[in-house]
Copies of this chain bind each other. A is one copy, B any other.
Amino acid sequence: MGKGRLEAFSDGVIAIIITIMVLELRAPHGTDWAELAGLLPIFLSYVLSFVYLGIYWNNHHHMLHAVRSVTGVVLWANLHLLFWLSLIPFATAWMDENHFSSKPVALYGVVLLMCAVAYSLLAAALVRHEGEGSTLATAFGRSRKGRLSMLGYAAGIGAAFVAPAVSLALYVLVAAAWFVPDRRVERLVG
């Protein structure tokens, strides 16, 4: 089974999720800079969620690039990932509405954690299909970053009940960890 439609469908869903979030950024009724500044937290959480979805799209792109074909199990593992990604706008909105209080910040971490779990399940399904000696399997030997990310999210969920700011810092840190080395690896390879 070809992988073209899986990629196209995933592109479509991620494109919609990433754009839906901007609908939360409702234009304020007044024209003061103060009103715009009031949107800053919402804007920053939009940036964070945008970056996370960008990371997932990039990684999805790289991972499927190394794959030749897909199976029914892979199709469902992919839909499972898209399901959790689709909850990011909801978790972002709840966090925004409540000024980053404990429970919404914890829930945001739960959704990020589930996305990471779903992504590693997709990777596992692909590795099983492609075989242990495949390029894909080799590339995913370095999935230590994946496990550390999950640890980061879990720590963030716990921290949310004490200091939500720490959780947010952890979420930003994990995003940075995916964003930065990606470029370093590329430079080494390219």
Contact = CB atoms under 8 A, between A and B. Distances in A.
Contacts of A27: 90, 93-94, 96-97
B190 A71 contact: yes
Nearest to A17: B19
A23 interface: yes
A76 B83 CA distance: 24
Interface stretch (A6-14, A130-138, A139-147, A151-159): A6-14
Number of copies: 4
B9 A86 contact: no
Contacts of A109: none
Interface residues of A, number: 66
A61 B90 contact: no
A54 B165 CA distance: 37
Contact of A12 (B16, B50, B87, B129): B16
Interface in A1-53: 1-2, 5-9, 11-20, 22-23, 25-33, 36, 47, 50
Contacts of A2: 65
Contacts of A26: 93
Interface string A58-89: 10011001000001110110010011001101
B103 A33 contact: yes
Interface of A: 1-2, 5-9, 11-20, 22-23, 25-33, 36, 47, 50, 54, 57-58, 61-62, 65, 71-73, 75-76, 79, 82-83, 86-87, 89-90, 93-94, 96-98, 101-104, 107, 129, 179, 182-183, 185-186, 190
26 contacts: A1-B61, A5-B61, A9-B15, A9-B57, A12-B12, A12-B16, A13-B19, A16-B16, A18-B82, A19-B86, A20-B23, A26-B93, A27-B90, A29-B97, A30-B98, A31-B98, A31-B101, A31-B104, A36-B107, A54-B79, A58-B72, A61-B75, A72-B186, A76-B179, A76-B182, A129-B190
